[in-house]
């Protein structure tokens, strides 16, 4: 037994790290950070104050919200950071790639049961977008209404949602791979009103899953729900953390069907402290106030900003595989 576990452990460690490589820009990032630190130390020595060191090392001068500095300072910090983020999002001309993983926790006879929600991969550029979902590991996705699994054993491409070019025209497209169906819709019908309950709910889901995602985030940051809560390093990048929480009433029909009344949406954006563009987004929703017991879904999306090359832009379009059957709406899929 002992030898078995040691051998399994070795094998597990080997397998889990088999595909790891050092990122190409790691050394350059390390050199930049060391240089910044050296500059900060020199500035502090020149001014003779420790305070300058602290501010300069953080690099984003004026952003550091320290505990005990008072609500006024934090409000100013939040306003400053959010303005910078909104400006960066407005000026950004990138293909955006998002990779989201999620979990869902449901209450089953008083027990909390958590399942993995599979991988969501998405691309967005201007009005174009493509989101693909892979099934979870254990049983694919629960099919609406029946509760059955699409399949068992391993993760598979499950659906694609976004835009396609058909007859030279950009149109909405929704493809389900497990039953070989697709539907088309005019563009813009899923336009969300900023700060509306529906838009708030979208913040609690995976990110980069829509056209004009930067414009959506820019608008949502103007809803006065977000505050700067600190700093974190994500994938070697210094980030400023912006968090918020909103409480949304469920629509009457939906509330009746899920036997809950309200949903609490939490979101956190990790924005690069140098460019102010988001590099990670976290969103969750939690139902409460009814008899069913809370259902919590949570997503972490890693966001990359890529140059708008032809190859990258091509990834923002859904393609319909040959032989698939067209149906009139996603509800029939």
Partner 1 sequence: MQDAQGPGELERLLAERGRDLMRTAALLTGSRQDGEDLLQAALERLLRRGRRLDNPAGYLRRTLYNLAADGWRRQGAWRRKLAIIGASDPAGEADAMAAVDLRDALMRALRTLPPQQRAVIVLRYWEQLSEAETAMMLGCSEGTVKSAASRGLQRMRELARSWQEPEGGPERGTKNGLATAIKLTEGRS
Q: Which residues bind partner 1 (CB under 8 A)?
A: 1-2, 4-6, 8-17, 19-23, 26-27, 29-31, 33-35, 37, 99, 101-103, 105-106, 108-109, 111, 113-116, 118-119, 134, 137-139, 142, 145-149, 154-155, 230, 232-236, 241, 268, 282, 284, 296, 298-300
Q: From the CB of 34, what's the least distance to partner 1, in Å?
A: 5
Nearer to partner 1 (CB atom), residue 211 or residue 240: 240
The residues near 61 (Cβ < 8 Å, ≥ 6 apart) are: 55
Burial class (CB in 10 A: 0-12, 13-18, 19+), 116: middle
Q: From the CB of 46, what's the least distance to partner 1, in Å?
A: 20
Nearer to partner 1 (CB atom), residue 109 or residue 193: 109
Q: From the CB of 205, what's the least distance to partner 1, in Å?
A: 13
Q: From the CB of 305, what's the least distance to partner 1, in Å?
A: 17
If we measure between CA atoms, which residue out of 38, 83, 90 comes closest to residue 62? Answer: 83
Structure tokens at 333: 């899929």
Q: From the CB of 16, what's the least distance to partner 1, in Å?
A: 5
**Residue 141: helix, strand or coil by DSSP?**
coil
Q: From the CB of 288, what's the least distance to partner 1, in Å?
A: 14
Nearer to partner 1 (CB atom), residue 22 or residue 46: 22
The residues near 33 (Cβ < 8 Å, ≥ 6 apart) are: none
Nearer to partner 1 (CB atom), residue 22 or residue 61: 22
Nearer to partner 1 (CB atom), residue 19 or residue 71: 19
If we measure between CA atoms, which residue out of 238, 290, 241 comes closest to residue 267? Answer: 241
Q: From the CB of 31, what's the least distance to partner 1, in Å?
A: 5
Residue found under tokens 């980069």:
208
Nearer to partner 1 (CB atom), residue 158 or residue 182: 158
Nearer to partner 1 (CB atom), residue 40 or residue 173: 40
Distance CA 232, CA 173 (A): 37
For the chain, the straight-line distance linking the first and the last C-alpha, in angstroms and rounded, comes to: 49
**Residue 317: helix, strand or coil by DSSP?**
coil
Nearer to partner 1 (CB atom), residue 17 or residue 189: 17
DSSP 78-133: HHHHHHHHHHHHHH---EEEEEEEEEEEEEETTEEEEEEEEEEEEEEETTEEEEEE
Q: From the CB of 5, what's the least distance to partner 1, in Å?
A: 5
Query: Hey, how many other C-beta atoms are within 10 angstroms of the C-beta on 196?
Result: 12
Nearer to partner 1 (CB atom), residue 188 or residue 230: 230
Q: From the CB of 283, what's the least distance to partner 1, in Å?
A: 10
Distance CA 81, CA 53 (A): 21
Burial class (CB in 10 A: 0-12, 13-18, 19+), 266: middle
Please, how many CA atoms are within 13 Å of residue 166, restricted to the half-sphere of its CB?
15
């Amino acid at each position: 037994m002992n030898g078995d576990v040691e051998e399994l452990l070795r094998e597990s460690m080997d397998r889990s790290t088999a595909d790891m490589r050092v990122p190409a820009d790691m050394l350059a990032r390390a050199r930049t950070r060391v240089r910044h630190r050296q500059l900060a130390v020199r500035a502090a020595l020149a001014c003779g104050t420790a305070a300058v060191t602290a501010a300069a090392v953080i690099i984003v001068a004026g952003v550091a919200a320290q505990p005990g500095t008072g609500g006024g300072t934090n409000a100013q910090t939040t306003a400053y950071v959010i303005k910078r983020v909104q400006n960066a999002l407005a000026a950004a001309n990138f293909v955006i790639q998002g990779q989201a993983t999620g979990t869902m926790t449901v209450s089953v006879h008083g027990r909390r049961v958590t399942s993995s929600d599979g991988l969501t991969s998405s691309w967005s550029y201007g009005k174009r977008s493509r989101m693909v979902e892979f099934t979870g590991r254990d049983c694919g996705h629960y099919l609406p209404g029946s509760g059955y699994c699409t399949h068992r054993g391993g993760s598979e491409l499950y659906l694609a949602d976004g835009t396609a070019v058909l007859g030279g025209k950009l149109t909405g497209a929704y493809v389900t791979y497990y039953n070989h169906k697709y539907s088309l819709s005019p563009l813009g019908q899923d336009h969300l009103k900023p700060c509306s309950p529906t838009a708030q709910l979208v913040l609690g889901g995976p990110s980069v899953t829509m056209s004009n995602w930067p414009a959506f985030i820019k608008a949502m940051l103007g809803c006065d729900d977000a505050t700067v809560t600190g700093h974190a390093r994500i994938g070697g990048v210094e980030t400023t953390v912006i968090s918020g929480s909103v409480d949304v009433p469920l629509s009457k029909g939906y509330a009746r069907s899920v036997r809950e009344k309200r949903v609490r949406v939490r979101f956190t954006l990790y924005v690069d402290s140098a460019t102010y563009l988001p590099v990670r987004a976290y969103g969750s929703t939690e139902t409460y106030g009814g008899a069913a017991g809370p259902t919590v879904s949570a997503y972490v999306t890693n966001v990359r900003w890529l140059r708008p090359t032809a190859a990258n832009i091509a990834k923002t379009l859904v393609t319909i595989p040959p032989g698939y059957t067209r149906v009139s709406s996603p509800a029939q899929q």
